[in-house]
Amino acid sequence: MMDNNKQNLTTDELSTIPLDHNWYQKLAVNFEIIQRYLDKIDADDLKNKFDDMSEQLNVCETNTQAIVNILSNYDVPIQIVNGKVVDTEEGK
């Protein structure tokens, strides 16, 4: 989501000004800006997207393992190592 009234956070300025009322005011404005964006986040939508991606990843991993198993049955020197399909030397 893009906000046409985008307001930048105060970042580098906070380290150069003394810890006075102005510093606290700038810090509070930062939290107000962040809160507006947090309020726009739809947690249910994010959870659904995460669940969908997790399911797709599981399907992909299952399919990859099935392919490796089939190839191994035909004596193709292949296996999964650290989540990657790799060639192996004959006899290993």
CB-facing half-sphere around the CA of 63: CA atoms within 13 A: 6
Does the pTM of the predicted model rise above 0.75? no
Rg (CA), the chain: 26
Strand partners, 82: none
Strand partners, 81: 84
- Rounded Cα gap, residues 38 and 42, in angstroms: 9
Give the chain's mean pLDDT: 82
Looking at residue 8, what DSSP letter applies?
A: P
Among candidates 88, 35, 86, which has minimal Cα distance to 64? 86
58-75: per-residue pLDDT in tens?
Answer: 999 999 889 888 888 888
